[in-house]
Amino acid sequence: MSASREAAHWEQARSAGRMIRASEGALAPVYAPLAEQIVRDFNLADADGVGIDLGSGPGTLIVELCKRGEMHWINADINPYFFSYFYDLAEEAGVAHRVSAIRADAQDLPFRDAYAAVIVSRGSYQFWNDRRKAFDEIYRVLEPGGVAYVGRGLARDMPVDEARQVRSNQGGGPRYDRFAHARQLANLMKEMGIEQWDVQVPTPDGPQGVNYGVWVEFRKPCGDAGR
């Protein structure tokens, strides 16, 4: 292995370690409420089929989703150093038989057309170099009638005191203009010609400056077999 490739592998391993520690620490309260919201919003409690969490990293959100439904969930992440931890986490939760993992670039997904009923992604899209291409890929992989939920931040009904604590644990939280991101996502949906979409900027009562993030939900019409 060349020195440059070895350095790249070490950086991937370090990056995975940092995110795993965050998932067990500052971000630990985030995943269960978000999984509850996703399952409720998209009626997944009794659904079957395949879901994909794109950029899932440690896979904590997947494990929480598995606890609340019967779908098979795939951790599709560009960094394979997460996967050993992910499988151990799923095994501990008793859901290892309903998960899998694959190395995947959001801009070139390794799935056939119309493969997944649901695609979610939390805290990943802001790192995609070509967001238009990534969203095209998500749309392609969705089955007709499928739904995607992509963004960054917290569940909209997370109590404000808990949200504030999460952000405090992050050193004040990420500093970005969520309304600017919302405009960018809305423009992207329009450019792609997607008809069924909704950009959401959660603003619960009394947030007092707490950043709940920004999300886009979009659907593939039942009659659309491809892109």
User: Quick check: 109 and 141 in contact, CB under 8 A?
Assistant: yes
Domain containing 110 — which CATH number? 3.40.50.150
What pLDDT does residue 209 have? 73
Give domain status of residue 227, yes or no: no
In this structure, is residue 224 part of a structural domain?
no
Task: Examine residue 202 and state whether it is found in any structural domain, yes or no.
Answer: yes
pLDDT in tens, 171-188: 877 788 999 999 999 999
DSSP H helical ranges for the chain: 3-24, 31-41, 60-67, 83-93, 131-141, 160-169, 178-192
Indicate the average pLDDT of the chain.
Answer: 93
* b/e map 178-193, b = 16+ CB within 10 Å: beebbeebeebbeeee
- 226 within domain boundaries: no
Q: Name the residue range of residue 98's domain.
A: 3-219
Looking at residue 189, its pLDDT comes to 97
- Residue 6 predicted with pLDDT over 80: no
Give the pLDDT confidence of 130-160 residue by residue, as tens digits: 999 999 999 999 999 999 999 999 999 999 8
Residue 86 lies in a domain: yes
Domains contained in the chain, number: 1
In this predicted model, what pLDDT tens digit does every residue of 185-215 receive, in sequence order?
A: 999 999 999 999 999 999 876 557 789 999 9
pLDDT over threshold 60, residue 44: yes
Which pLDDT does position 206 carry in this prediction?
59
Mean pLDDT of 2-15: 83
Domain assignment present for 78:
yes
User: Average pLDDT of 24-41?
Assistant: 97
Gap between the Cα atoms of 182 and 162, Å rounded = 24
In a domain, 117, yes or no: yes
Contact 152, 125 (CB under 8 A): yes
Could you read off the pLDDT of 84-94 as tens digits, one per residue?
Answer: 999 999 999 99
Give this prediction's pTM. 0.94
Does residue 225 fall inside a structural domain?
Answer: no
